[in-house]
Structure 1
Amino acid sequence: MGKEKVGLVALVMIVSSWLVSPSSSSSFRGDLTRGKAPLTFGSPSSSSSSLVLNRVGSSVVFPLDGDVFPTGSYNTTIYIGQPPKPYFLDPDTGSDLTWLQCDAPCVRCTETPHPLYRPSNDRVICRDPICASLHSGDYKCDDPERCDYKVMYADGGSSSGVLVKDVFSFKSYGGGDLSPRVALGCGYDQEQKPGASIPFLDGVLGLGKGKSGIVSQLSSQGLVRNVLGHCLSTHGGGYLFFGNDLYDSSRIMWTPMSHDYLKHYSPGTADLLFAGKPTGQKDLLLVLDSGSSYTYFSSQAYEALSSAVKKALDRKPFAEALDDPTLPLCWRGRKPFKNIREVRKYFKPFALSFNSGGRTKNQFEVPPESYLIISAMGNVCMGVLNGTQAGLQNMNLIGDISMQDKLVIYDNERQLVGWQNSVDCSRPPKSRTFAA
């Protein structure tokens, strides 16, 4: 199987899995357990932030590496600590907490591209609001001077650790340095499901809506607006940004965030169209999750889409490739395919039509290159999977594959989700604030 991941599961806090195959995920909800590993912290560091630039309106941009297939994830480099050290993190809109695999010492850690993070001596206390946001109800503190956490993932994997604060070093897009102290998880005990594909990363960049989310923390310090966005390229790479001065709002199709999924980035309900025509699937509650490589529909919507795709391929030079284990639905041609361009003309786009709160409908268009991949066997495979079989129940989840070549924006201040179709994600736009 590829290194696909599926998100939007957790205990009390909502996070995304970066470890799961589409046939083996499940959803969890319950009490947090607390790790008991002895902690050895690094040298004390200043508790004050060094904020060279301290004004709302600045944006921070991060180049992205990776792809949906064959890498299985996107990642960005974040510099943390004093002196700053680089770490490769999985940007995850379905997860609140940023955490690193951590040597405190590490009980169980997977292989990482950099040395394990050595935590600062600035611990987050148990009654800190950020700690409280990771727990449910009237949680108890085993140690009032520390905040323990445990998050569980869709495939049964988990991360346990303790919260600390450390310096994150950013470059403002308009010039200037940002060096805020940010709460993050020191993950010293990671459990993985046997056989799960594990990305070669140092940890997760939590972009969720909660207080522990990195954008929420930066916003509370007056550094950026509580807005984030990403642009994932079908050619690999792209960019991620914090702040609201890197796009023209008038060009974005906006829809209100759903009140049914307050902890998720959800644009609400949509009707599923294929080749511009209704499929009969209406009022699908959608969630946008950069922590999932592929898109997942509930059983009925998945069957409707896969049947429509198969019907459109009638009398075309394709045969179903039952021997290809890459994804559940693959087709072979007369000879192996090298790229999506060779097959694009045979496949039709699908779209999700959202009611934007009035009479107008905003369409989230998904062209063939944003739901198909070419496998290592040279077959074309559909990157929309059955979420019900994957344990997501009736949730419909838009993953990385279907957000490619789109500017996707999460405006937490206005409670809006927006997107712009057909965008060149290879380079970030010029800042409206600092453009000459």
Structure 2
Amino acid sequence: MKTTTMLLCLITMLLIASVYSQEQTAMRLDMAHRDTLSPNPSPFHRIEDIMGMDQKRLSLISQKIKTRKGGARMSLGSGFDFGSAQYFSEIMVGTPAKKFRVVVDTGSELTWVNCRFHGEGPEKLENRHVFRAENSSSFRKVGCMTKTCSEDLAKLFSLSICPTPRTPCAYDYRYVDGSSAQGVFAKETFTLGLTNGSVTSVRGLLIGCSSSSDGGAFREVDGILGLALSDYSFTSKAINTFGGKFSYCLVDHTSHKNVSNYIIFGSTPSSATKSPARRTTRLDIDLLPPYYAVNIVGISIGEEMLNIPPQVWDIKKGGGTILDSGSSLTFLAEAAYKAVITGLQRHLVGVKRIKPEGLPIEYCYYTRKFDDKKLPQLSFHFMGGARFEPYRRSYLINAAPGIRCLGFVMARDEGTNVIGNIMQQNHLWEFDIEASTLSFAPSTCL
């Protein structure tokens, strides 16, 4: 029914990237939601895709777990208008520099673009750009017989095929949502905008030249910006160049493509860092590499701390929690999920429930006349006392006119909890790698 299809539309988003200037010298990228990129998306297929990709992503995350020039910035915005469940940015690659729209993913390490090299790869793609390696004077392939290929890039799915010393190092990169990309590794120059309005070039960044890719996550985009923390990720190079931190602010996931904010590598605007609502907790970058892990000790609804077994949050006992810009919804281990849903349901008594057929979102309601203030504040409690209080629209999500859903999904496998991008929206998040801290504060992101 239309209601069901419209419901899925709500959970699709993206961030489109374009370079903006600021008075400070830091790099920033515009970020937009991916849903805004598809010309005629079907809401039903979008929600199906989102849920399918999120669940596969969580499963593989769990498996995987068992100088300074001021700052740089990239625009960041919601992709609601394009039918995607990711956030997008734009990067400038090669010499001369060419612009590519990429998914911003804190859960993957490899940055790659659709690419043609020595006759391999797409000639052209509808609504997408193709990087022509031979036309870039700064493109340097990684040889398959190098230590970089055989050892350092092994975790990035480098292939052992090496018929001649001149053969480039190949990869078959697999994502947690089931998507994949195939191509060759290279070192390239990226042109980045600084927060003072100027630009700079960063040389020697690892990039994937993808001759083919498969998966719904790549619709309407030219590649991936890998922001997980590892030796060869974009993040690693950026923080070495601009300073040991990066930050982003995710606009509301239903925002249109003309609304965006930034990813900033380096210093954060002083107005944000001095916010009285700013909270800081430990960022455990060594516990679940390459993901950004945090220590949650509990969840409360109103003044009531929910009865959730401590092992759900304990990384050493198979639990733990990460922040992931590549997941839309928030995944909780069964014990946490049931406690949260039961706690919120008590405040929705009398509100008519609807079960969208065929969808994994279990708890949706007709809320046309529902007053948000009747729903108590849900809070994530971090070790050390910091408390993250998302807006109610981040956990009672608009799905269709008059219909809203609780934005939680039970993890099919016991393991890592994931705070997705809808839960993170309308907050500024600062990842300080040098200090191993995560700071956050409410923000309009405008």
What TM-score do you get using the length of structure 1 for normalisation? 0.75
Cα gap change, 1:322/1:147 in structure 2, threshold over 3 Å: closer, same or farther? same
Which residue of 249, 265, 269 maps to 2:296?
A: 269
Q: Is 1:228 the equivalent of 2:246? A: yes
For residues 225-282 of structure 1, the C-alpha deviation after alignment (integer angstroms, 9 at most, x for no partner) is 1311110122633321111243465654222222421321112232111123111125
Partner of 2:267: 244
Partner of 1:51: none
Partner of 1:63: 75
Q: CA RMSD in A?
A: 3.2
TM-superposed deviation, 1:210: 0.6
CA distance in 2, matches of 1:109, 1:280: 56
For residues 383-421 of structure 1, the C-alpha deviation after alignment (integer angstroms, 9 at most, x for no partner) is 22112x2x5x3110111011111111111112222212x
Partner of 2:44: none
Partner of 1:96: 109
TM-superposed deviation, 1:351: 1.3
CA distance in 2, matches of 1:109, 1:177: 30
Which residue of 392, 397, 411 maps to 1:373?
A: 397
Cα gap change, 1:110/1:383 in structure 2, threshold over 3 Å: closer, same or farther? farther
Q: Unpaired segments of 5 or more residues in structure 1? A: 6-16, 31-54, 427-436
- 8 Å CA contact retained: 2:114, 2:129: no
Q: Is 1:158 the equivalent of 2:184? A: no
Partner of 1:297: 332
CA distance in 1, matches of 2:124, 2:339: 39
CA distance in 2, matches of 1:67, 1:311: 33
1:384-423 equivalences in 2 (<5 Å): 384-387=408-411, 389=412, 391=413, 393-420=414-441, 422-423=442-443
Q: Is 1:363 the equivalent of 2:377? A: no
Q: Percent identity?
A: 22
Cα gap change, 1:334/1:100 in structure 2, threshold over 3 Å: closer, same or farther? closer
Q: Is 1:353 the equivalent of 2:381? A: yes
- 8 Å CA contact retained: 1:111, 1:200: no
Which residue of 160, 168, 177 maps to 2:190?
A: 168
> Residue 281 of structure 2 aligns to which amino acid in structure 1?
T
Which secondary structure state, in structure 1, belongs to the residue aligned with residue 343 of structure 2? helix
CA distance in 1, matches of 2:50, 2:141: 26
CA distance in 2, matches of 1:300, 1:112: 45
TM-superposed deviation, 1:129: 4.6
CA distance in 2, matches of 1:344, 1:325: 27
TM-superposed deviation, 1:67: 4.5
Q: Which segment is superposed worse, 256-265 or 134-143?
A: 134-143
CA distance in 1, matches of 2:281, 2:184: 37
CA distance in 1, matches of 2:50, 2:125: 14
- 8 Å CA contact retained: 1:288, 1:399: yes
Q: Unpaired segments of 5 or more residues in structure 2? A: 1-7, 14-48, 314-319
- 8 Å CA contact retained: 2:92, 2:99: yes
Cα gap change, 1:98/1:109 in structure 2, threshold over 3 Å: closer, same or farther? farther
> Residue 73 of structure 2 aligns to which amino acid in structure 1?
V
Cα gap change, 1:112/1:325 in structure 2, threshold over 3 Å: closer, same or farther? farther
- 8 Å CA contact retained: 1:107, 1:188: yes
Aligned pairs, number = 371
Which secondary structure state, in structure 1, belongs to the residue aligned with residue 341 of structure 2? helix
TM-superposed deviation, 1:319: 1.5
- Structure with more of its chain in strand, by fraction: 2
What TM-score do you get using the length of structure 2 for normalisation? 0.74
Which residue of 67, 71, 75 maps to 2:88?
A: 75
Q: Which segment is superposed worse, 400-409 or 373-382?
A: 373-382
Which secondary structure state, in structure 1, belongs to the residue aligned with residue 423 of structure 2? helix
- 8 Å CA contact retained: 1:57, 1:245: no
CA distance in 1, matches of 2:266, 2:108: 18
Which residue of 174, 198, 213 maps to 1:190?
A: 213
CA distance in 2, matches of 1:19, 1:380: 16
Partner of 2:46: none
- Structure with more of its chain in helix, by fraction: 2
